[in-house]
Amino acid sequence: MHLFHLLSPISDFVSMIAMYFVEIWDFLIFIGRVSGVIVVLVGAILWFTEANPKRGKGLVASGILLSIVVQYFVMYPPSFVL
C-alpha cells in the first residue's frame, strides 16, 4: 500500500507531461493545416497568374502532400493523444 503513495506523484507528473504533449500535438496539427492551405493558395496564385507556373505547380503539389500527411496524423495520432 505504501508503494502506491510513493508512485502517485510520479504518475501525476507523467499525466501532466502527457497533457502538455497533447496540447503541443494539437498546436502542430493546427499549424500543419494552416500551412497546407496557405501553400496551396500561394501556389495557385503563382500558377494561374502565370508569374511562375512551374513553381506554382510545385507549391500546389507540396501543399496537397502536406495536407494528406497532416490528415494521416489526425486519423492515426500517437498513443499519448489517445
| Tens-place pLDDT, residues 11-28 | 888 888 988 998 999 999
Q: Give the Cβ contact number of residue 60 at 10 Å.
A: 19
pTM reported for the whole predicted model: 0.78
Residue 33, C-alpha cell as written in the block: 493545416
Residue 30 CB: number of other CB atoms within 10 A?
11
Name the pLDDT band for 82 (thresholds 50, 70, 90): very low
Whose CA is closest to 67, among 49, 43, 47, 46? 43
Residue 57, amino acid: K
Which tens digits make up the pLDDT trace of 43-73?
Answer: 999 999 999 999 999 999 999 999 999 999 9
Phi first, then psi: give them for residue 8, nearest 5 degrees.
Answer: -60, -45
Give the number of other Cβ atoms within 10 Å of residue 56's Cβ: 19
